[in-house]
A and B are shown apart, each in its own frame.
Chain A
Amino acid sequence: MVGLSLGEKQFIQGGIAEDIRTDGRKRLTYRPIYVETGVIPQANGSARVRMGATDVIASVKAELGKPSSLQPNKGKVSIHVECSPTAEPAFEGRGGEELSTELSVALQLCLLGGKSGAGAGIDLSSLVVVEGKICWDLYVDGLVVSSDGNLLDALGASIKAALSNTGIPRVHVATGASSDEQPEVDISDEEFLQFDTSAVPVIVTLTKVGRHYIVDATSEEESQMSSAVSISVNRKGNICGITKRGGAGLDPSIILDMISVAKHVSEQLINKLDSEIAAAEAEDES
């Protein structure tokens, strides 16, 4: 929780109404984004994203598993977020648990698409090795190292960066085994398949403070919000997921307005993020 005096509250709200925020940004300006990839050697892919004082790490681990009997031609992806109490004392115990489920659910909604797999950022059918027998299970884990607002956008960006950093080992399946048996596999140590992340959406959270809404809110600004809508948009400009936080109701026309603003903002964010990821990858390799 952020403790603010009445004067500070009014200063934040008044600033947002005047389109100049406490740190000098405009309503629809992001803080500078820094991306580092390959930060966790143990994982198949990882990335660290910093936006101001918000600092998150995402890691992707791939393990061979069995596809579920209901969807034999699809791999499995699970997204989990951990809010460490080192970031903020409020994350200790239940407070952290609640926030981490909320973030995990929101990320799943935004990144995994509909039940049939349409609009999914991660193509689940590409994770299948042998249909009905073997598939890759992707474990996407997010960690909040330091929190200063806008966690969902930062986590979304870090997962996108981690996935583009992910190399999945090529698997050779021993042929000749009868169809009933579990086929033998040989996991290559040298050949890695790169992940296609062009379809992974970015998440834009619009936080409503007073009558206006802002992107990339700091935790001080978040404490003044009435509600926040997180919209995930992919490169094609299609909406892949919407979640809402905060109890206050919104007029339907405001939501539609937010969607069009989010689409506009996401274009810049995707380009910015892509160039940051490419720069980080280049640095990682050298």
Chain B
Amino acid sequence: MAGKAATTSTTYSPSPTTLKTKAPIFNEDWVRPDGRGFHQCRPAFFRTGAVNAASGSAYAEFGNTKVIVSVFGPRESKKAMMYSDIGRLNCNVSFTTFSTPLRGQGLDNKEYTAMLHKALEGSIMLETFPKTTVDVFALVLESGGSDLPVVISCASLALADAGIMMYDLIASVSVSCLGKNLVIDPILEEESSQDGSLMITCMPSRYEITQLTVTGDWSTPKINEGMQLCLDACAKLAKIMRSCLKEAALGSQE
């Protein structure tokens, strides 16, 4: 679009923008746009304590994907809610209007909210805070692909930072199927032309899957391969998350 400016007239006339990106051909010598290997994740960066007002918070950055999650509570459940001898988890995922290439595009956050809730609830010891509610609010500052896995991992870290009792940290990784290739931790460009996706959220130390979604067309051996790839990556991701928590704990002692 920027290249067009030189050839057309200097006055601005609005015309419908059609993003014409040619679908790349995914043969053997195809390389990923950011030069990563197919089974190589983006460098992950985590930091806890991003928001002062929250009981716990975390910031995560995976390439261009930037997410902030804050955890509030446990606070008293609303009066309208019925008595419950286990705690409640209240999640929300939202996108900033400028997070996506087209403004205000990321509106499928209801779906993300439900997924985040389902991914987290299996790891939290809800019986440790009866009659109360924990709020998890996630905000996607910049959407650069694999948003949901980053949100889930970051939310788990924020919960740990808030001191909510959990069985294990939750790590989440997705793979995309592009032609015959399986690429891990896809970026936005790869996600938009993917033939299928597989996302796993798991508790690596317990070796349990809390949430799993698959779309597209998969044969059983491919699912096997994709799951193994994700589980290995989750284990590594959890190590990074753990070291981040340790660092934060050491920092506060000094």
Contacts and interface: CB of A to CB of B under 8 A. Distances in A.
B3 interface: no
Interface of B: 16-19, 23, 110-111, 114, 118, 121-123, 177, 191-197, 202-203, 206-220, 223-224, 227, 231
Contact of B17 (A69, A255, A259): A69
Interface string A114-133: 11101100000000000000
Interface stretch (A156-164, A188-196, A234-242): A234-242
Q: Which of B16, B210, B215 has the most C-beta atoms of chain A within 10 angstroms of its own C-beta?
A: B215
Contact of A70 (B19, B110, B207): B19
Interface string A31-70: 0000000000000000000000000000000000000011
A241 B215 contact: yes
B68 to A, nearest CB: 24
Interface in A208-257: 229, 234, 237-245, 247-252, 255-256
A72 interface: yes
Given A70-B19, A114-B197, A239-B223, A252 B111 contact: no
Contact of A114 (B111, B123, B195): B195
B206 to A, nearest CB: 7
Contacts of A241: 213-216
Interface stretch (A79-87, A101-109, A169-177): A101-109
**Top 10 A-B residue pairs of the complex, sorted by shortest distance between their CB atoms:** A119-B217, A249-B208, A114-B216, A118-B195, A247-B122, A242-B214, A247-B121, A114-B196, A119-B216, A239-B218
B126 to A, nearest CB: 9
A113 interface: yes
B216 A244 contact: no
Contacts, number: 116
Contacts of B114: 98, 101-102, 105
Contacts of B16: 69
A260 interface: yes
A115 B191 contact: yes
A263 interface: yes
Contact of B207 (A101, A109, A252, A263): A252
A113 B192 CA distance: 13
A239 B220 contact: yes
Given A69-B18, A256-B227, A113 B220 contact: no
B57 to A, nearest CB: 23
15 contacts: A69-B17, A70-B19, A114-B195, A114-B196, A115-B193, A118-B217, A119-B215, A239-B223, A241-B213, A241-B214, A242-B213, A243-B212, A244-B212, A251-B207, A252-B231
Contacts of B122: 247-249
B202 A255 contact: no
A250 B111 CA distance: 22
Contacts of A237: 219
A113 B215 contact: yes
Nearest to B110: A101
